[in-house]
Chains A and B, each alone.
Chain A
């Protein structure tokens, strides 16, 4: 009696080996590494790799390995000092061509990697970095859409040759005024034909004025919101890539929020500026006839003009008509102006933009053109500045440069924002969590020591209180820890400080199953049953109790998971995994070991329990 069939032992051995295998990658330290990606549209090649290798050898910076994978170049170093030296070297020598990011690359040996065995991800609270939660201003997105419809309404009516007095928007509602009822009916038909899908359009005369009112349908509004969120995530992704962050996370959260996690980033001020900024350019002609100072003083701006300010504070009058907007820009790179040595941004336009721009500049050769820099701050304020005024020397086309920026950093940021594209709607930071690298390191150490100490205390207690059986439970406990780590690694879950707390708590609770069983065995022995019968009865009787107790705890963990965010989710995941794996180790595995020790000894007199 009390013997396991062979297959059960095989199962235990196999699961143990698999668990050890997948927990193993976590024991290898991480290499300080440098991750390079291309800053333009071209893909990194072997040639780039060779060039970098040459560069590093030249400066005798020793590296461990260099590999090209997924269009990324990963260079591993032996120590952080060389990593940093190489980082600044690459930035200086090849800064415009590559985006360099500091990274810690897991030093998992190849044979483990081929088995898809990877270490757990460390959460931001353990490795340092910044977590942002951004909220998309959906009202602004809808307002922007209404503005577009306003223009479309005008165009539709004009194309259909229907006379109207004006299209106005108020509180997300468009109203079109007509001279007479006949025009209104025609207008209603024309607009309905075009916009019926998205809008509710109806005639709503006010007194004697024939009027059409239109507002967006609920489905259209939802579509606009969905699109704004998607569009913002796309440009955030581009911007983050441009920032040079290794392994960023950009995710939708709820209906109008976006989570951005940037491991290792310390300069949060710049990150915030880049992520939240909406900068773009406009090109307008300067009104050289009018006097801007007079306009500024009298407040009377000539018709067809707008008053702007230059960077030095001087007023300037620009034509209302925009020659070109930032949407046509396909590429932008920062550099140095060859003529005066100042910072410059080199701009490339798409086909349509190039046609528009070459036509407009051809008509205005020898006249002054201004570049307006427009930035929408996170709180919705719009800053418009004229950064550059220059005489058009010749017809401009696909490629040209603009100057007038204060410094190279500004040029770099502007190029970045132009490349990454505008945001569909402004965003606000509603949450920020930044953890410095020193605290991250301290958190890992604290987590590690508290797990170890707690673990050792429980093990000691079990061994003393339950003797041989306690030692068996200790084996199960250790195995449980291995399984939790292996499962977390397999799922590629992110380990956070609350996650570690979850592991610690599981350690304390995992022995509960064994305590239940052992107490039951003790009871059976006291009742005068034979040792063998007591073992069988102990395990059998305790099972349903353990099951009930664990399922209820799982319910609590599940609720935590569904409601919780980030760190709380981590806690719930480790807790649930711990409960599940403890069922296996505390019941199945301990029984196996107990059977090995005591099984098949019918004359057994005493149990060390």
Chain B
């Protein structure tokens, strides 16, 4: 207990900072909205590989000639890879052959010297379902966690943990609204993983708070919480560091498709680390958690003794 940083002393400041962050994230989300990916909006994307740097203007012209003037054409990763996007067409019948038509045009224009890398077509009804299911999944996950933590600790801890999670999710999603990085299915998975990760962090701190409430008879709840956060601080930082190490590796080496997934997790881990230090315990304290709420009742002792 050498390094004692007065985390809880700055809790008012932290609360203000968090509130500002969450509110501005919400503001950005409502103002700019998310740049939903194909999975959610529906539409068609086609990734094509060329043998030499591709001429986007030429491709656009070729596509316009073929009746696809509204296609968005851009480089993907390198100048030899081209990504073509088409918004879903309302009321058009046979959409399934769209990708084949486009590939046909491009292949014809370049004497067949292209390579199909990837085609994704998602019908608009699928996208709509995913948006709903995704939101539901998030709520289910939070609910399941709420129940488990309430069962293992106490309801105020449970609510604080969920507040911290909502905080992390909102800021991470807000980041995506701010940067307009594409929000696709893998990002949603990453956000759910952030929930798991951040909770992991929070639980470790709570666990120590519970232990110290029982062990240290002197001191206020605030002091004990501060001690607990300090005790778990190096663990929190080391784990975040190792996780960030692999995420950075994933970001730089995992390829274009996994980029936004890695970004979501990197943001989420950083925010999650902050929230498990400043937000979760803070919220629990504000809700009036006291030593008496966690008097040993023998049930948990048994579990703790298993090696």
User: Known contacts A465-B238, A511-B242, A519-B238: does B249 contact A556 (CB below 8 Å)?
Assistant: no
Given contacts A432-B99, A434-B116, A443-B257, contact A498 B186 (CB under 8 A): yes
Q: A430-B126, A509-B197, A557-B196 are in contact. Are A540 and B304 (CB under 8 A)?
A: yes
- Contact call B258/A509, Cβ cutoff below 8 A: no
Question: What does DSSP make chain B's interface, helix, strand, loop or mixed?
Answer: helix
Q: How far is the CB of A44 from chain B (nearest CB, A)?
A: 33
Known contacts A507-B246, A543-B307; is A435 also within 8 Å of B123 by CB? Answer: no
Closest to A536 in B: B307
**How far is the CB of A462 from the nearest CB of chain B, in Å?**
7
A432–B250 contact, CB under 8 A? no
Q: Which of B178-206 contact A (CB under 8 A)?
A: 185-186, 188-189, 192-193, 195-197, 199-201, 203-204
> Closest 3 A-B residue pairs measured CB to CB?
A379-B93, A454-B246, A556-B196
Nearest chain A residue, comparing its CB with the CB of B125 = A430
Number of B residues near A (Cβ < 8 Å) is: 80
Segment of B16-24, B28-36, B141-149 in the binding face: B141-149
Contacts A433-B120, A458-B242 given; indicate if A504 touches B96 (C-beta within 8 A).
no
Number of A-B pairs whose CB atoms are under 8 Å?
A: 244
Is there an interface contact between A461 and B253, defined as CB atoms closer than 8 Å? no
Q: Give the residue among A443, A450, A455 with the most B Cβ atoms within 10 A.
A: A450
A458 touches B261 (CB 8 A): no
Closest A residue by C-beta to B239: A512
Known pairs A379-B93, A555-B144; A544 contacts B207 (CB<8 A): yes
Which A residues from 494 to 543 make CB contacts under 8 A with B? 497-498, 500-501, 504-505, 507-509, 511-512, 515-516, 519, 523, 526, 539-541, 543
A–B Cβ pairs within 8 angstroms, 7 of them: A269-B97, A269-B100, A447-B254, A458-B246, A508-B242, A555-B145, A568-B189
A354 at the interface (CB under 8 A from B): no
Closest to B249 in A: A454
* Most B C-beta atoms less than 10 A away, residue of A433, A457, A458, A545: A545
A453 x B249 contact (CB < 8 A): yes
Q: Which of B216-258 contact A (CB under 8 A)?
A: 231-232, 234-235, 238-239, 241-247, 249-250, 252-255, 257-258
Q: Which of A135, A379, A457, A553 contacts B94 (CB 8 A)?
A: A379
User: A567 at the A/B interface (Cβ < 8 Å)?
Assistant: yes
Determine the chain A residues whose CB is within 8 A of the CB of B254 once the complex forms: 446-447, 450, 497, 500-501, 504
Question: Is the Cβ of A563 less than 8 Å from the Cβ of B200?
Answer: no
Known contacts A379-B94, A516-B235; decide if A543 and B306 are in contact (CB<8 Å): yes
Please pick, from B1, B100, B117, B137, the residue contacting A438 in the complex, using a CB distance under 8 A: B117
Q: Contact at B186–A559, with CB atoms within 8 Å?
A: no
Residue numbers in B under 8 Å from A553 (CB-CB): 196-197, 199-200
CB contacts under 8 Å to B, within A273-290, are 276
Please, which residues of chain B bring their CB within 8 A of the CB of A166? none
Q: Which residues of B contact A543 (CB under 8 A)?
A: 304, 306-307
A558 to B252 CA separation, bound complex (whole angstroms): 29
Q: How far apart sit A453 and B211, CA to CA, in the bound complex (Å)?
A: 37
How far, in angstroms, from A443 to B254 measured CA to CA in the complex?
A: 8
Give the interface of A toward B (CB within 8 A): 125, 133, 135, 266, 268-269, 272, 276, 377-381, 428-436, 438-439, 442-443, 446-447, 449-450, 453-455, 457-458, 461-462, 465, 497-498, 500-501, 504-505, 507-509, 511-512, 515-516, 519, 523, 526, 539-541, 543-545, 547-553, 555-560, 562-564, 567-568, 571-572, 575, 591
A501 and B258 contact, CB distance less than 8 A: yes
A1 → chain B closest CB, angstroms: 12
Q: Which of B245-285 contact A (CB under 8 A)?
A: 245-247, 249-250, 252-255, 257-258, 261-262, 265
Establish whether residues A436 and B118, one from each chain, have CB atoms under 8 Å apart when the complex forms: yes
Q: Which of A450, A555, A575 contacts B250 (CB 8 A)?
A: A450
Residues of B within 8 A of A434 (CB): 99, 116, 118-120
Interface residues of B (CB under 8 A from A): 1-2, 47, 49, 93-97, 99-100, 115-123, 125-126, 133-134, 136-137, 140-141, 144-145, 148-149, 152, 185-186, 188-189, 192-193, 195-197, 199-201, 203-204, 207-208, 211, 231-232, 234-235, 238-239, 241-247, 249-250, 252-255, 257-258, 261-262, 265, 300, 303-307
Q: With A and B bound together, what is the CA distance between A543 and B305 in angstroms? A: 8
Residues of B near A575 (CB, < 8 A) are: 193, 196
Q: Tell me the smallest distance from the CB of B122 to a CB of chain A, in Å.
A: 5
Question: Is the pair B249, A552 in contact by a Cβ cutoff of 8 Å?
Answer: no
Q: How far is the CB of B185 from chain A (nearest CB, A)?
A: 6
Which of A268, A516, A519 contacts B119 (CB under 8 A)?
A268
B185/A272 in contact, CB under 8 A:
no
Contact check: which of B97, B192, B307 meets A272 at CB < 8 Å?
Answer: B97
Pick the most buried of A377, A431, A442: most chain B CB atoms within 10 A of its CB: A431
Q: Which of B2, B118, B306 has the most CB of A within 10 A?
A: B118
A461 touches B242 (CB 8 A): yes
Using CB atoms, name the residue of chain B closest to A520: B235
